[in-house]
Amino acid sequence: MSFECDYSYIPAHHQLSILIDLAASHEVEHHVLLSGSSIFLEDIFSGQKLISQQQLQQVLKNAEQCFRNQDISFLFGQRSLTTPFNDAIKSMLYASTFDEALSRYLEFSASVSPWLCPRLMYSQSHIHIYWLDENKLENRFLIEIAMSAIQAFSRQLYQTKLAWKFEFNFSEPDYIEQYWTHLGSALEFNRPINMMSLPRDLVHEKLPNASSTLAAISYQHALKEMTAQNIQQSFLLSLHQYFMQNIQNNIQLEQTADYFQMSSATLKRKLKKHQTHFQAQLDQSRLHTAIILYRVHGFKTEQISLYLQINDATNFRRAFKRWSGLTVQAAQS
């Protein structure tokens, strides 16, 4: 059974404590940051309050408005995976290889990346990290958090800066200096999806501070906690996986609702609660499939068109433009 965006499971004193401290250092009052979230400072200091993804994202939205064009997103991200709030993060920090750490990043994403759900793609030469629902323009702040989190996390694990390359599904921002400072110069804008890539041979290297014993203990504790909280999979991730498994079929709202044992009206309501809709989620899965076929399998446009059951290459190009806002040539370059 999947959980939804209003399910309370995130300890309010974990990631939010970092954001509260960052806001205070920039002379922003906590009540401004927490406005509209139904979270109070006393909840954070109690160490007992559980909040939902919906509440956390409201606070992050407030932060974006308070610190527009500043580097709060990068600073928050840099500390979000390097601070051992829970056993899930500890199991990542003590992992033997980066590949193992990333596997746990996906497995425990509800706890370690509650703002965006990560996915992995392995090409012949690189590993690529991307996220669900990241192509919404209003999620740029969350992408900055997610990418800086992974970069800082990898730097701590390897004890050196790695050769990450970053792609963004938006134009170069006015505050590009923040990107240069926190992410480096290997940046590409106006790309089909937001994604960061690393040479694949690096992810299997033995990490200098690895501890198989501590990693194993933390991993077992994290599994128990995840099961107890019932946060193995979010509703949108379950939907995405269903789409990806059936992407070559003519997916319809009614059959999808039947699969999840609910009415079409209920499915629509759930999607609206998650600030999305059926076609947007289906288009996202088709876009991700197209990118995987381009990047991993080296498919040509005509082959992808056939794979996705689209009549011809011309219609596929139109569809790709609708999914990503960019041309097929942008994906191939």
Ordered by start, the domain boundaries in the chain are 1-68, 70-172+192-229, 235-332
Residues 115, 57 contacting (CB under 8 angstroms): yes
| pLDDT given for residue 128 in this prediction | 98
The Cα 8–Cα 53 span in angstroms is 7
The Cα 157–Cα 202 span in angstroms is 12
Write out pLDDT tens, residues 262-284.
Answer: 999 999 999 999 999 999 999 99
Q: Which fold has domain 235-332?
A: Arc Repressor Mutant, subunit A (1.10.10)
Q: Is the dihedral of CA 17, 19, 24, 28 positive or negative?
A: negative
**Cα-based distances in Å from 248 to 263, 289, 306:** 23, 10, 9
Q: Is the dihedral of CA 96, 211, 146, 69 positive or negative?
A: negative
Work out the number of other CB atoms within 10 angstroms of the CB of residue 320: 27
| pLDDT given for residue 68 in this prediction | 84
| pLDDT given for residue 49 in this prediction | 97
What is the model's pTM? 0.95
The Cα 92–Cα 82 span in angstroms is 9
Write out pLDDT tens, residues 213-246.
Answer: 999 999 999 999 999 999 999 999 999 999 999 9
Residue ranges in the chain modelled with pLDDT below 70: 134-137, 333
| pLDDT given for residue 70 in this prediction | 85
Residues 215, 88 contacting (CB under 8 angstroms): no
User: Do strands 50-52 and 126-131 pair parallel, antiparallel, or not at all (unpaired)?
Assistant: unpaired
| pLDDT given for residue 137 in this prediction | 64
